[in-house]
Amino acid sequence: QVQLVESGGGLVQPGGSLRLSCAAAGSFFSINSMGWYRQAPGKQRESVARIVTGGSPNYVDSVKGRFTISRDIAKNTVYLQMNSLKPEDTAVYYCWAEVSLTASALPSVYWGRGTQVTVSL
């Protein structure tokens, strides 16, 4: 019913930048919030950033001042601009969206398949 398609990952040198995109497609009533998680090898998945409709974005401390999350409501798309990247940012980045399929339905969370970000010389 809802598909999230990520793009923009890749290999970048330390100090470089990448912009991730995630577009939601399918049939639904509204998207309440969107965000990004990441999972590095051997580590638990962690929330990187989230943005709620009508609210301020939230970030994990380790990316504050370097990453910016934004959303294009008309395009059902969320972006993650990542600047001053560090090797420890290397991970698979997963997009998520809290979606209401109908006006009366409780929201559900949907996930993208992930996009690899590698920060290395």
Q: Measuring CA to CA, which residue among 78, 62, 72 is closest to residue 22?
A: 78
What is the structure's pLDDT at 103?
94
Under 8 Å between Cβ of 82 and 8? no
Render pLDDT for 12-48 as a digit per residue (tens, 0 to 9). 999 999 999 999 999 999 999 999 999 999 999 999 9
- How far apart (Å, rounded) are the C-alpha atoms in residues 102 and 44? 33
Partners of residue 94 on adjacent β-strands:
37
Span 57-80, pLDDT tens digits: 999 999 999 999 999 999 999 999
Q: What are phi and psi of 89, to 5 degrees?
A: -85, -5
